[in-house]
Amino acid sequence: MSLHPQILWAQRESILFLTVGVEDLTVEDLSFNGKTFHVKGTSGAKKYESTLELFDELKPESVRKIASVRQLELVVEKVKPEWWPRLTAVSGKLPWVKVDFNKWRDEDENELENPDPMNAGQFDLSSLMGGMGGMPGMEGLSGLGGDGAVPSFDDDELDYNSEEDDDEMPPLEPTGEASTPEGAKP
């Protein structure tokens, strides 16, 4: 008895991507006849086979194959360029058929869409702050000297009376009756 290989699928308007996910697959039969896709092969001692009735027809002469150690990838053109609502002709879930989200695009996504829509790769971030003036009323800060980031002040420029700071701290005020431990002198 043959096992079903895992089949991943994705689409564009005019092409279908199919991936047969079996390691070291030796393909014995691979065919597209009308709406039917058939694959048969072996990997080690295991035999794999699957037949799918597709939603619509494909062009069998347009099949492009990429075989690797891990999987077999197929790219096939559709006869009618339109988005399919599902891969198979009948609705229902086949446990070995899954969506290939690595290749999936929605119908409303433009294939020619710019991958960098805001051209962030060509945007000079240093130009953002160059034209900014600053806060209103702060024009005089530019003449303070220094590097412009932090104004520098000398001790001579500061206006304070240093004698006021030499006063001693006033004594603490009592808060109420203080209890003294036994044997202590008040």
Range of lowest pLDDT (73-82, 83-92, 129-138): 129-138
What single letter denotes the amino acid at residue 22? V
Instruction: Report the pLDDT averaged over residues 174-186.
Output: 66
- The rounded percent of the chain whose pLDDT value lies above 70 is 64
Q: What pLDDT, on a 0 to 100 scale, did the predictor assign at position 23?
A: 94
Give the residue numbers spanning the domain of 70.
Answer: 6-84
Range of lowest pLDDT (37-41, 86-90, 96-100, 174-178): 174-178
On whether residue 172 sits in a domain, the answer given is no
pTM above 0.75, yes or no: no
Question: What pLDDT digit, counting tens, does each position of 147-168 carry?
Answer: 555 556 565 555 555 566 677 8
User: Rounded mean pLDDT of the chain?
Assistant: 80
On whether residue 126 sits in a domain, the answer given is no
Residues 17/73, Cβ–Cβ less than 8 Å: yes
On whether residue 49 sits in a domain, the answer given is yes
Which has the closest alpha carbon to 14: 79, 107, 81?
A: 81
Whether the pLDDT of residue 24 is over 60: the answer is yes
Whether the pLDDT of residue 176 is over 60: the answer is yes
Whether the pLDDT of residue 114 is over 50: the answer is no
Q: What pLDDT, on a 0 to 100 scale, did the predictor assign at position 170?
A: 85
Q: Which residue has the higher pLDDT, 172 or 78?
A: 78
On whether residue 1 sits in a domain, the answer given is no
On whether residue 174 sits in a domain, the answer given is no
- The rounded percent of the chain whose pLDDT value lies above 90 is 52
The DSSP output letter for 117 is T
Find the farthest-apart pair of alpha carbons in the chain and give their distance in angstroms, rounded. 112
Q: What's the number of domains the chain is made of? A: 1
For the chain, the distance separating the N- and C-terminal CA atoms, rounded to the nearest angstrom, is 104
**Residue 109: band (very low, low, confident or very high) from pLDDT cuts 50, 70, 90:** confident
- 51: CATH: 2.60.40.790
SS3 28: strand
On whether residue 40 sits in a domain, the answer given is yes
On whether residue 107 sits in a domain, the answer given is no
On whether residue 68 sits in a domain, the answer given is yes
